[in-house]
Copies of this chain bind each other. A is one copy, B any other.
Amino acid sequence: MIRTIYFDVHAGAVIILNQNRLPAQMEYEKMFSHQDLAQAIKLLKVRGAPLIGVTAAFALALAVINYTGSRDMLKEYYREAEQLLASTRPTAVNLCWAIKRMRIVFDAMQYLDIRSLAEELLHEAENMFDEDVAINNIIGEQGQVLLEPDTEVLTICNAGSLATCGYGTALGVIRSAHKVGKINQVWACETRPVLQGARLTVWELMQDKIPVTLITDSMAAHLMSLGRVGAVIVGADRIAASGDTANKIGTYSLAVLAHYHGLPFYVAAPWSTVDMSLLSGSEIPIEERNQEEVRQVGGNYITVPEVKVFNPAFDVTPAALISGIITEKGIIRAPLGEGLRRQG
């Protein structure tokens, strides 16, 4: 299993796999401060909703490990670290979820000596890591039941080991289905602009010898019309109480296309992705990223450098287009809002 993040006691650093260098280079980087980690999240060195949640948890532990100030100022320092991490990326709710969960430990343990508090926080971050792997395995097992034998599955972005602490959500379902011989083929959408499908999903699946074919995002509809797609499975960055789901830009397009072609469209995500405080998808903040992500590929301009660009990193798929949400608590089916309320 590819390790996406861990704490190195000897280095006193959190080690991350820099996903921007994949697949050309598999490069681990030492992060010596929570500020380094916040920057790594912003720059997409670590990405994927579940993984950025756990990364924030490690960052908060590291913040306290590194703390050299007075006892009095610790709480304020910790709050600032939380705010810095929360501000890195607005869409994935797992970030807030992880910060909240770490806060419970911080509040409960804040009267310990600082070193013990730091240890407790690190322990919690590591627990969250282990839990995420376990959750992904459950999602995979439960989700694979939905697929027919000999299925061609289409996915977008990377909801795999690299987006999580291991195994993956959408790719977890595909891995589990592959183990029982159900996967004929995975169609990986390249996922412009940042190409997580071409760079990460292809690489992950090839490492596991799961048959994968790369397509541009614009080819999905054509494949569906040829009868070459049996199901679409994607991850999620935030799921509102209604079941409306924010995920990588292009996901909504696939959902409409699947609906038109009568194909099942599944979302696979840990429960930490569900945000019951938002009634509907229209309340989910959508991150707009740097226009250069669209204008350039690999550092070279693919267009007129001065052209105006629109670069939303996510879109929202309405619940009505989702056949089921696969979480560790089970599979939620339409009407999704009711199902989420019952499980929540």
Contacts and interface: CB of A to CB of B under 8 A. Distances in A.
A303 B213 CA distance: 11
Contacts of A220: 253
A249 interface: yes
B23 A249 contact: no
A317 to B, nearest CB: 9
B217 A310 contact: no
Interface stretch (A72-80, A143-151, A294-302): A294-302
Contacts of A260: 256, 259-260
Given A213-B310, A249-B218, A310-B223, A304 B203 contact: yes
A250 interface: yes
A224 to B, nearest CB: 9
A309 interface: yes
Interface residues of A, number: 54
A297 B307 CA distance: 19
Contacts of A298: 297-298, 300, 302
Contacts of A156: 218
Q: Considering residues A156, A202, A203, which has the most beta carbons from chain B within 10 angstroms of its beta carbon?
A: A202
A308 B214 contact: yes
29 contacts: A23-B304, A187-B310, A191-B218, A192-B217, A198-B303, A199-B302, A202-B307, A203-B303, A203-B304, A206-B304, A211-B308, A214-B295, A214-B309, A214-B310, A218-B250, A218-B253, A219-B249, A221-B253, A221-B315, A222-B252, A222-B253, A225-B252, A225-B316, A259-B260, A260-B260, A297-B300, A297-B302, A298-B298, A298-B300
Closest 5 CB pairs of A and B: A218-B250, A221-B253, A198-B303, A192-B216, A222-B315
A107 interface: no
Given A219-B250, A222-B312, A249-B219, A214 B300 contact: no
This chain's copy number in the assembly:
2
A24 interface: yes
Interface in A181-213: 187, 189-193, 195, 198-199, 202-203, 206, 211-213
A257 interface: yes
Contacts of A113: none
A253 B309 CA distance: 21
A294 B195 CA distance: 11
Nearest to A211: B308
A283 interface: no
A303 B221 contact: no
B190 A294 contact: yes
A304 B202 contact: yes
Contacts of A187: 310
Given A214-B294, A221-B253, 9 more contacts: A191-B218, A192-B218, A202-B307, A219-B250, A221-B256, A222-B312, A256-B257, A257-B257, A298-B298
A308 B195 contact: no
A263 to B, nearest CB: 12
A156 B217 CA distance: 13
A300 B297 CA distance: 9
A191 B220 CA distance: 13
